[in-house]
Structure 1
Amino acid sequence: MKTLFSTAAAMLLLATPLAAQQTSQTAIANFVSKDGKANGRAALTDADKGVLIEVDVSDLPPGTWVAFHVHESGKCDHTDGHKAAGAHFNPTEVEHGFLSVTGPHAGDMPNQYVGQDGVMRAQVFNAFVSLDETDNGIRGRALMVHARADDNRSQPAGDAGDRLACAVIE
Structure 2
Amino acid sequence: MSRNRNRGFALLSCIVLLSGCEWSNQPTLAERTPQHGHQVESAAVSTATEMAKDSGPMIKRIDIINSKGIKTGTAVLSSIPEGVKMQVEVTGIAPGKHGIHIHQYGVCTGPDFKTAGEHLNPEGKKHGFNNPQGPHAGDLLNLEVGADGKGRAELVNKMVTLDKDKANSLLKQGGTSLVIHEAEDDYMTDPSGNSGARIACGVIL
TM-score (norm 2): 0.73
CA–CA distance in structure 2, aligned partners of residues 114 and 39 of structure 1? 13
CA–CA distance in structure 2, aligned partners of residues 11 and 149 of structure 1? 51
Question: Given the alignment, which residue of 108, 113, 133 partners 1:82?
Answer: 113
Question: Given the alignment, which residue of 84, 97, 101 partners 1:65?
Answer: 97
- Unpaired segments ≥5 residues, structure 1: none
- 1:22 is displaced (CA, Å) by 2.6
Q: Which has the higher contact order (CA 8 A, sep 6+)?
A: 1
Count matched residues.
166
Relative to its length, the structure with more helix (as a share) is 2
CA–CA distance in structure 1, aligned partners of residues 113 and 106 of structure 2? 10
Match of 1:48 in 2: 81
| Cα distance change of structure 1 residues 77 and 153 upon mapping to structure 2, 3 Å threshold | same
CA–CA distance in structure 1, aligned partners of residues 94 and 156 of structure 2? 23
User: What amino acid maps onto 2:97 in structure 1?
Assistant: W
Match of 1:113 in 2: 144
Superposition map of 1:13-52 within 5 A: 13-22=47-56, 25-52=58-85
Relative to its length, the structure with more strand (as a share) is 1
Deviations 1:108-157 (A, max 9, x none): 11112101111120000111111125111112211111000011121111
User: What amino acid maps onto 2:199 in structure 1?
Assistant: L
- Structure number with greater Rg is 2
- Unpaired segments ≥5 residues, structure 2: 1-38
User: What amino acid maps onto 2:75 in structure 1?
Assistant: A
- 1:9 is displaced (CA, Å) by 6.4
Match of 1:138 in 2: 170
| Cα distance change of structure 1 residues 118 and 17 upon mapping to structure 2, 3 Å threshold | same
| Cα distance change of structure 1 residues 9 and 32 upon mapping to structure 2, 3 Å threshold | farther
Structure 2 residue matching 1:124: 3-state secondary structure: strand
CA–CA distance in structure 2, aligned partners of residues 6 and 117 of structure 1? 59
Measured on the aligned residues, the alpha-carbon RMSD in Å equals: 2.1
Same amino acid, percent of matched pairs:
34
Match of 2:12 in 1: none
